[in-house]
């Protein structure tokens, strides 16, 4: 079973757009960053993808920007897996600012398993299926007191 995975970052000047808050595209980078850190922690990073000759690639994102983030804000990037089948995994995200207890951003991504040599869909190997287990229904990933 997969757990909730947290990565804390601090907003840097390069994250800020002309309106004085974090640029929308930066949130997409953060989604990739926290997902990559999570799969590394699960033992299935780029090196393992290359050895197994297949990988997970994003095929669909749904995002909701809820509140703005600003320079020097400390933000908890949280992710977890919420569903899985033989071809797809489904990942959720929630970005949270503790200083004012604000949920800034939520998102989900549908990831597809592909064969690296061809880019074609491939059923997940047992290695992937074992590592990419959904979060238990008894856990509340929006409870940010859990760290």
Give tens-digit pLDDT for 20-52.
999 999 999 999 999 999 999 999 888 999 999
Least confident of 16-20, 45-49, 63-67, 70-74: 45-49
Rg (CA), the chain: 16
Q: Which residues of 55-68 are buried (b: 16+ CB within 10 A; e: fewer)?
A: bbeeeeeeeeeeee
pLDDT at residue 30, rounded to an integer: 98
- Can you read off the two tokens belonging to residue 32? 């990739």
Q: How far is CA 120 from CA 59, 64, 147, in A?
A: 12, 30, 38
pLDDT at residue 147, rounded to an integer: 61
| Helix, strand, coil percent values for the chain (each to nearest 5) | 25, 40, 35
pLDDT at residue 1, rounded to an integer: 46
Measure the CA–CA gap between 89 and 82, rounded to whole angstroms.
Answer: 8
Residue 2 has pLDDT above 80, yes or no: no
- Can you read off the two tokens belonging to residue 51? 């050895």
| pLDDT tens for each residue of 90-138 | 999 999 999 999 999 999 999 999 999 999 999 999 998 888 889 988 8
Number of helices and strands in the chain (H, E): 3, 5
Query: Can you give the pTM of this predicted structure?
Result: 0.93
Residue 146 has pLDDT above 80, yes or no: no
More confident residue, 46 or 17: 17
> Please, are residues 11 and 73 in contact by the beta-carbon 8 Å criterion?
yes
């Amino acid at each position: 079973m997969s757990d909730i995975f947290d990565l804390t970052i601090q907003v840097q000047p390069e994250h800020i757009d002309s309106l004085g808050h974090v640029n929308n595209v930066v949130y997409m980078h953060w989604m990739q960053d926290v997902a990559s850190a999570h799969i590394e922690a699960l033992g299935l990073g780029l090196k393992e993808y290359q050895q197994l000759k297949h990988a997970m690639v994003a095929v669909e994102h749904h995002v909701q920007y809820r509140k703005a983030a600003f320079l020097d804000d400390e933000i908890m990037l949280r992710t977890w897996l919420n569903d899985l089948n033989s071809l797809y995994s489904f990942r959720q995200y929630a970005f949270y600012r503790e200083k004012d207890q604000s949920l800034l951003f939520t998102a989900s991504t549908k990831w597809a398993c592909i064969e690296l040599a061809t880019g074609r869909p491939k059923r997940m190997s047992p290695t992937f299926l074992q590592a990419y287990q959904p979060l238990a229904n008894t856990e509340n990933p929006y409870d940010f007191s859990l760290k």
